[in-house]
Chains A and B, each alone.
Chain A
């Protein structure tokens, strides 16, 4: 507390006066636009829906934008694929139920952990050599890897990330987008069915179109094969 009367207000007015002559921070949006860094995404927050499940669709857009590659995630992606990366399952909220089961000592069938099995990396190294460790040929590398193993094991994706210098999130984002790339062996039919439910193959669209165009049992329909 000051004993000189008026010192407080003088200090305050001095600050006001200083700020008054400083350049303004406020801009006249939308006439003027602030320079936003291309990777800026605002404050990231995980949202839950009304049933308490995560709304995150594991699209990896935030992880791809993260400049220091600190975001990693697990969960159900847009193609119904259940995928957890690394780390204990207890870290992932959506895996609560299973991890609780596991702690209770009961055996839990867990296909999500199969991709973490170590694999023979010689084949993925051969593919990487063929494409010169070039991240711009990522689709070719991924297709070659899938040709060698039958699917894309997580260990192979990590090897590709180390060898090409591309981020794991970017590689996973690429691999999870294209319909012909898969993370499970072709024998995992239930997983393939889940993927097909989320994003049906072109053939099912063509079949549905054919069915819709010939009437499909509605009044006046005639069963007639299309040429």
Chain B
């Protein structure tokens, strides 16, 4: 299991508050440490609208990558007239190299269970699902055990804590596609359908699972909710960046090793990287890959960019899966961009044609460059193609799949020069 990196003293710990517990699924130990106090306060003191107002005042934003305000999302779902509502915590963790969601669910399943229960209570949902990776059998077992314990203790099930509100929660293992990280695709999988995204609007808060209003939140988002309800919105809003308060989990990968750290939003990228092992002797930082398989490559001179949704986006990357990879000077960036672009292309679901064919052509352009067979028009063609794919995007995967290429062209255009590439083999002639 990936280790948790030590963060400097004074950095807040919200998500990993109870992560060092010996037995994470032991309910008595967890309640002694404060679990389900938030649910009690939400039900007895705040009420559904009060809870939504508290979360909205805290400024909590979706950790799945898009950064949509969570309170706004809950309110939208609660306001739609419907016979049933659903709440879904997305713990699929689509990025295969990023284990933050898995770690959170393993170390502190009650944070997610309680947060999702509060979300379901606030949005008026009576059924809640935690979607996890089916391959991670230990996560499935831990979450199922936590839900069972909590149901037995009366924190879930019919008439939760005397509120008159039912919350039936279950774990739903899903597998088989990278696209399951996208919310509408995940809902399709929970309905037992082909996992292709839906056009938005209508958003899932209006018409989601089985056509009913559905709140879909990342597990990191819901795990922060109990803390907010316990400690108040003002305390949460004071942490991190004023526009996007709170902390996120970052999967850090450096040439010296891997680790997961809890980082307040707004921390400069330089400080995030400093949490990991130092550069090996004689090596220098070439780039930082922020955001997972569809992440952007940032050069060393923009490392002062704060780790927030907007700042990363304007720098040409995005928060994505929460993965930060330090790339040293041994790495061939074109090859790295090729690996990422080919992955994004092969995992495209095929619903939207610019995505299905465009990302494939983009991958071919990068592969040609890798093989030293690039055509003179390839750079312009790639830029045009990437812009077209983004402009016609149906879902976030399509919107982001070109970022490895576009950020590479933006900051590391010289790496794409033919001169810096190996000579093509003698038998192959450039077309």
Contacts and interface: CB of A to CB of B under 8 A. Distances in A.
Interface of A: 57, 59-61, 64, 78, 135-141, 170, 173-174, 176-181, 198-200, 202-203, 205-206, 208-209, 211-216, 218, 220-222, 226-227
A136 B332 contact: no
B350 A200 contact: no
Given A174-B192, A213-B331, A221-B330, A180 B176 contact: yes
A227 B2 CA distance: 11
B329 interface: yes
Contacts of A173: 193-194
Interface in B167-226: 174-178, 189, 191-196, 210
Contact of A227 (B195, B258, B327): B258
Contacts of A60: 194
B336 A212 contact: yes
B346 interface: yes
Contacts of A199: 346-347
Given A206-B96, A227-B258, A136 B191 contact: yes
A215 B293 contact: no
Interface string B333-344: 001101110110
A212 B189 contact: no
A78 B331 contact: no
A198 B196 CA distance: 17
B192 A205 contact: no
B192 A214 contact: no
B323 to A, nearest CB: 10
Nearest to A140: B192
A140 B192 CA distance: 8
B132 interface: no
A14 to B, nearest CB: 46
B48 to A, nearest CB: 27
B331 A178 contact: no
Contacts of B256: 227
Contacts of B178: 202
B330 A139 contact: no
A139 B174 contact: yes
B260 interface: no
B325 interface: yes
Interface of B: 96-97, 134, 174-178, 189, 191-196, 210, 253, 255-258, 293, 325, 327, 329-332, 335-336, 338-340, 342-343, 346-347, 349-351, 356
12 contacts: A59-B350, A178-B176, A178-B189, A178-B195, A205-B339, A209-B97, A212-B336, A212-B338, A213-B255, A213-B325, A213-B336, A226-B255
A220 B193 contact: no
Contact of B210 (A136, A181, A216): A136
A206 B332 contact: no
Contact of A208 (B255, B327, B339): B339
Most A C-beta atoms less than 10 A away, residue of B257, B332, B338: B332
A214 B330 contact: yes
Nearest to B256: A227
B331 A212 contact: yes
Contacts of A218: 330, 332, 335
Nearest to A139: B192
Given A178-B176, A178-B177, A218-B330, A212 B193 contact: no
Contacts of A61: 196, 351
A177 B196 contact: yes
Contacts of B175: 178-180
Nearest to A142: B192
Contacts of A141: 192
B330 A220 contact: yes
Contacts of A226: 255
